[in-house]
Amino acid sequence: MPHPHPTTHWRTDRPAEGFYTSALTADPTRAVRTFLPEQYQARYPYPLLVLFHGRGGNEEQVLKLAPRVSRRNFVAISFRGPTAIGRRADGSPACTWDAADAGRSADAVVEAVTQTRRTCHVHSERVYLVGIGDGATAAYQAAFALGDKVAGVVAVNGSLPRSQSKVPLFRLDQVRRQRVLIAQSAANPTAGLLEAMRDHKLFYAAGADVQFARFKSPGTLPAELLTAVNKWVIDRVNAETEALVAR
């Protein structure tokens, strides 16, 4: 994660692309799944996507989205929400995120990213949180807790954390410094769309770097939406690179 003098760590060998499993040291019950891209280059500082599954999902299910976003551009990791709510149709755990557990999830992000950087060459200042549905709310909460330790947040078919009276829960300084992509599919309910549009207005009014995009292709996660996530992250990576070269 970022700090005053970022360092990077990488392996001199070349792990094969694909999926790997580990566990959080502080909580061995929470598995971490890792996706390494095709043609993984051990000396290239990859952006890292941290994926937060939706309600009823798990770390295995959501990480399958990583190669659909891009097979080459990112290292990606996912871990399980802390609240079990049963079993999926395939028998795997169905989990979700508890608003009261935001601090624990932020700690889990830090540990998972730290572990990943021990074995993969991940850029310390290019960590993006990507949440789907309830996972988007969890991603926002983690980003607010971690501040400039994350480079941006992608909220897919999800919304800001809210109180029981539907009031958004954040401080202006937490929102102002965020870079956010709010992505909505046509399959998302109208109420969710309206809430996401309100979130966009809040971020914009606070001066955040925020984009809103709605996709009309059928399905909850159409290909054009995932392509837009890839482009949004890469555009920011390229902009940062150009700014460094111009100094």
> Hey, where are the domains in the chain?
18-246
More confident residue, 245 or 210: 210
**Over 90: is that where the pLDDT of 138 sits?**
yes
What is the distance between the alpha carbons of residues 213 and 225, in angstroms, rounded to a whole number?
8
Dihedral angle over CA of 148, 150, 23, 36, nearest 10: -140
Lookup: tokens for 216: 């009309």
3 has pLDDT over 70: no
Per-residue pLDDT reduced to its tens digit, 62-121: 999 999 999 999 999 999 998 999 999 999 999 999 877 777 788 889 999 999 999 899
- CATH 3.40.50.1370 assigned to 18-246: no
Question: Which pLDDT belongs to residue 8?
Answer: 44
Q: Using a pLDDT cut of 90, give the percent of the chain over it.
A: 58
State the pairing for strand pair 93-96/83-87. antiparallel
Tokens 């395939």, residue located: 90
Instruction: Indicate the length of the chain as a whole number.
Output: 247
Q: What percent of the chain has pLDDT over 70?
A: 89
Q: How confident is the model at residue 169 (pLDDT cuts 50, 70, 90)?
A: low
Residue 50 has pLDDT above 90, yes or no: yes
Residue matched to tokens 């952006």:
47
Residue 209 parent element (H or E)? strand 209-215
What is the rounded average pLDDT for all residues in the chain? 87
The answer to whether 136 touches 159, Cβ cutoff 8 Å, is yes
Q: What does the block give as tokens for 35? A: 């996706």
Q: Return the structure tokens found at 203.
A: 């971020």
- pTM higher than 0.85: yes
